[in-house]
Amino acid sequence: MVFLGAVALIVVWALAGPLFHFSETWQLMVNTGTTVVTFLMVFLIQSSQNHDSVAMQIKLDELIRAVQGAQNSLISLEDSTEEEMQRQSHALHRLAGTPGADDEDAAGAEERTAGSTE
């Protein structure tokens, strides 16, 4: 409905062109309107994304809580500092036996260093 309303406003604006002799004021009306709508849509989209993010976090927290053996300390991870998150990430990568992003960088640097000495 909102989209159809926007289309109707554009049609009315276009039909009003001859009435305003296609003046700068006529053009300024649509430019101002689209700028205001764009500005408001940014906030609407951001609010919607924040809502979805919170809902997803709650669902993940419930899964962590419900799975036996899961680390409940991960439930509040989003409230941690960046350093705490990095430490937790490295600890989980070690448990899984996979290198973390920083571990891969360090391994690549070691390989490059070893290759340059040979």
Is the CB of residue 61 less than 8 Å from the CB of residue 75? yes
pLDDT score of 91: 86
115 has a pLDDT exceeding 70: no
Over residues 19-29, the pLDDT tens digits come to 988 899 989 99
pLDDT score of 71: 79
Q: Running DSSP on this structure, what letter comes out for residue 21?
A: T
pLDDT score of 105: 52
pLDDT score of 109: 44
pLDDT score of 79: 84
Mapped onto helix, strand or coil, the DSSP state of residue 105 is helix
Structural tokens at position 70: 């899961």
Is the CB of residue 99 less than 8 Å from the CB of residue 107? yes
Over residues 33-92, the pLDDT tens digits come to 899 989 999 999 999 999 999 999 899 889 988 988 887 878 888 888 999 889 888 988
Query: What CA–CA distance (Å, rounded) separates 26 from 38?
Result: 19
